[in-house]
Chains A and B, each alone.
Chain A
């Protein structure tokens, strides 16, 4: 029976039950639930479907195939690691919300129709906003509110697109969607918001760094990768995605170089890595799509590892601003090591996970003759090493000694980081394990002498550029600052216009109010003249008069009847 129960719902149920459990049981349950669901997924064969009738529709609650299973495995692994990393968080809404969030993202991945997808799409949005709010600061509250509005807009667009498609085709099935219908375009924008397409991206950099040390790790795994999954399912081979993805790989790295909050730097690099996946989906070849899925899998793990290391720094040092840190390798040597594994993985060093996944997308772009795209992706690869691979560990753990002396991260955090690091190295060193679960057969070998050499050259010379710029004082120093990005539009003029509109509405309302009052007074006067006790229309009529009129009416009726 338990084997039949959808894993996503199981996680949601565990999350809802968590606050009612004794404190000592909460963390073990939060760890055990995803582990159980992972084992359950291993037992599910591709092709399994679970259909139910609800709301008058035949809904596909679970559609397991190689694409949904690949995302299912990594989502449960991420939820498991997150629960270990957050072992000590036993109070407040964060852990329950994190489990509901992971469960709804998992359920959305297995949704076989657009209505089921929509329900879990929205639930994951609300649960993730709770994860942000759980930090309890006013900043987190406001950022979470902005985040939630954007996520709900995505849900509305998905619902509208699904409704249009249903009206057109009579089917809610979540298969290839494409841009042939107007509904398809709406759904693409809905997915695009989750994937943080350019200009739709700022919710990510805005909200993720405002969550708690543990919360940001939770957030980094699910929402954007759910978007990537949905895109791979609904829009493979959509050419526009090649260009959108290419832009996504490039523009965030400029911001990442000048950003001071190291978790925000990582949020920009989330954006950049998503770009690679979007390009792979746009290419639509077996290699490109496999690359997108493989890179999403690897990215969830190394990004979790990087966010964990920065979470540990935030917990121990009290800040993750580049300006306040430096020299922490003395206090936190293990965290430093794990961070560098994550950095090597995202930078695609040979033997680390990014090396065996990102290159699939780049080779596919080259094979399809997209030389310009390939050049931008190569630039972005160098750039991601620069800002995530070097800048993050350098400013946190090395650079000038900030004088901060703190304890090493707590044991449970170190365990979570060690597991994530082991997975990053495992995937990078034995790529066959990951390739075996990809949706399409893989005929690609990342470990050729040519690939290893070219990648090492790219990375070592990027590192040389960093050191050279640093030693010559050209590298821009970390500065306490806010860098304006596209969200300025809705956080400054947009906000002013909205506030101005509210004021204008208030003024208009006051005006209308006064008008109503004035006309009310006039009406009142008129009513008094005619309807007050002595008014012409308020006089009582005599019963006799009434009887006479009734008699007249009956007579008229009789006459009409006999005629």
Chain B
């Protein structure tokens, strides 16, 4: 342990992995709930099965990939304006 004296539950990699898998389980349950709960569609196509889950996942991946590209264009040294 790097910080032995105050290491806690989150410092163990196994637990972080458990959290991550737990998140997938919750996600899967929410998708299954889509079959049970009658969702009231707001614009029509959002009534599709698992629409919000899929949109949330892909929107965020697209956001991050686009932001990485943006970084290539706009990133400058920290003291750019102070020089």
Contact = CB atoms under 8 A, between A and B. Distances in A.
Interface of A: 139, 253-255, 257-258, 327, 329-330, 362-363, 366, 371, 374-375, 378-379, 382-383, 386, 398, 401, 403, 405, 448-451, 453-469, 471, 474-476, 479-485, 491-492
Contact of B20 (A379, A467, A480): A467
A306 B15 CA distance: 27
A481 B64 contact: no
Nearest to A401: B3
Main secondary structure of the interface of A (DSSP, over half): helix
B60 A383 contact: yes
B66 A254 contact: yes
B75 A458 contact: no
A363 B41 CA distance: 10
Main secondary structure of the interface of B (DSSP, over half): helix
Contact of A463 (B23, B43, B44): B23
A469 B50 CA distance: 21
B60 A462 contact: yes
Contact of A461 (B45, B54, B71, B79): B54
A460 B71 CA distance: 26
Contacts of B57: 461-462, 464-465
Most chain A C-beta atoms within 10 Å of own C-beta, residue among B34, B64, B65:
B64
Interface string B47-83: 0001111111111110111111011011111111110
Interface of B: 2-3, 6, 8, 10-11, 20, 23-24, 26-27, 30-31, 33-34, 37-40, 42-46, 50-61, 63-68, 70-71, 73-82
A513 B11 CA distance: 73
A248 to B, nearest CB: 16
A257 B64 contact: yes
B60 A386 contact: yes
Nearest to B82: A139
Contacts of A460: 23, 26-27, 30, 53, 56
B50 A382 contact: no
A362 B46 CA distance: 13
B44 to A, nearest CB: 8
Contacts of B56: 382, 457-462, 465
Given A254-B67, A476-B71, A481 B76 contact: yes
B10 to A, nearest CB: 7
Contacts of B51: 454
Given A383-B63, A453-B37, A460-B30, A374 B70 contact: no
Contacts, number: 159
Contacts of A458: 52-53, 55-56
A141 to B, nearest CB: 12
Contacts of B46: 454
A480 B77 CA distance: 7
Contact of B6 (A330, A465, A467): A330
7 contacts: A258-B70, A453-B30, A454-B52, A457-B52, A460-B53, A469-B64, A484-B80
A377 to B, nearest CB: 11
Contacts of B63: 253-254, 257, 379, 382-383, 386
Contacts of A451: 40
B6 A457 contact: no
Contacts of A403: 3
B61 A469 contact: yes
Contact of A466 (B37, B60, B79): B60
A454 B50 CA distance: 8
Contact of A379 (B24, B33, B59): B59
A484 B44 CA distance: 39
A453 B39 contact: yes
Most chain A C-beta atoms within 10 Å of own C-beta, residue among B11, B26, B79:
B26
Contacts of B11: 401
Given A257-B67, A463-B23, A450 B52 contact: no
A398 B52 contact: no
B59 A382 contact: yes
Contacts of B78: 480-482
A375 B55 CA distance: 9
